[in-house]
């Protein structure tokens, strides 16, 4: 459910960005966060304005059935928005408009749009509707003469996780044996040798 919800958030933002009239500005990327901001701002700034989504974690699960095979899981997602503007930090946050040209979106507008798009959504999934949370400033500075701003907004949800089977009995002899297959190059798909180890 963690990955499914993250993918649904990304897809929902992409759909809104590509719709007509859409957001009123173009996003260069809407994707799962993969450490782009850790690779150096010089590289990532060229991809602004962008949106990244990542799973941030959850609290301790809570049993919701007497059999203790269903657990209420909490999940927090972070949606990061990045914007830049050659007119400086203020324009980066608040945006700017040049007559006859597309609006250069600011980070504040992106945050507002993301909140409007995601708050109250469940995407047809068995999750509690997303609730907006804290907003954090990740970057708000000047780089090579242009303003740079990255903000993150948290969204919270919950879902029920069902234990699909009985707990594994590690005293069962079946769990004390390990089978190993060896494939020698060139690998023709056939097992060249095999071992079975019994654990004490």
What's the confidence (pLDDT) of residue 104?
A: 72
Helix, strand, or coil (residue 129): coil
Strand partners of residue 195 = 180
Q: What is the pLDDT of residues 123-170, one digit of tens each?
A: 999 999 999 999 998 887 766 656 778 889 999 999 998 876 566 666
| Structural domain contains residue 117 | yes
Q: How many domains does the chain have?
A: 1
What's the confidence (pLDDT) of residue 73?
A: 93
Quote the domain boundaries for residue 126: 2-162
| Structural domain contains residue 182 | no
Q: Mean pLDDT in the chain?
A: 80
Alpha helices in the chain (DSSP H): 2-18, 41-44, 89-94, 107-118
In CATH, what number is assigned to the domain containing residue 20? 3.30.2000
Distance separating alpha carbons of residues 51 and 1, to the nearest angstrom: 21
Residues in the chain: 200
Strand partners of residue 76 = 57, 156
């Amino acid at each position: 459910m963690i990955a499914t919800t993250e993918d649904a958030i990304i897809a929902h933002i992409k759909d809104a960005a590509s719709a007509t009239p859409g957001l009123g500005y173009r996003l260069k990327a809407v994707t799962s966060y993969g450490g782009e901001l850790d690779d150096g701002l010089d590289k990532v700034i060229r991809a602004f304005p962008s949106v990244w989504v990542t799973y941030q974690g959850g609290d301790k699960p809570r049993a919701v059935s007497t059999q203790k095979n269903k657990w209420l899981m909490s999940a927090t997602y972070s949606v990061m928005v990045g914007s830049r503007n050659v007119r400086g930090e203020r324009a980066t946050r608040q945006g700017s408009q040049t007559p006859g040209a597309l609006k250069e979106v600011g980070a504040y507008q992106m945050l507002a749009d993301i909140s409007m798009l995601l708050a109250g959504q469940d995407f047809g999934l068995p999750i509690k509707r997303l609730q907006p949370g804290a907003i954090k400033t990740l970057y708000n500075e000047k780089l090579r003469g242009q303003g740079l701003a990255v903000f993150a907004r948290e969204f919270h949800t919950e879902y029920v996780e069902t234990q699909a089977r009985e707990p594994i009995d590690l005293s069962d002899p079946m769990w004390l044996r390990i089978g190993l297959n060896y494939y020698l190059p060139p690998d023709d798909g056939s097992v060249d040798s095999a071992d079975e180890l019994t654990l004490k």
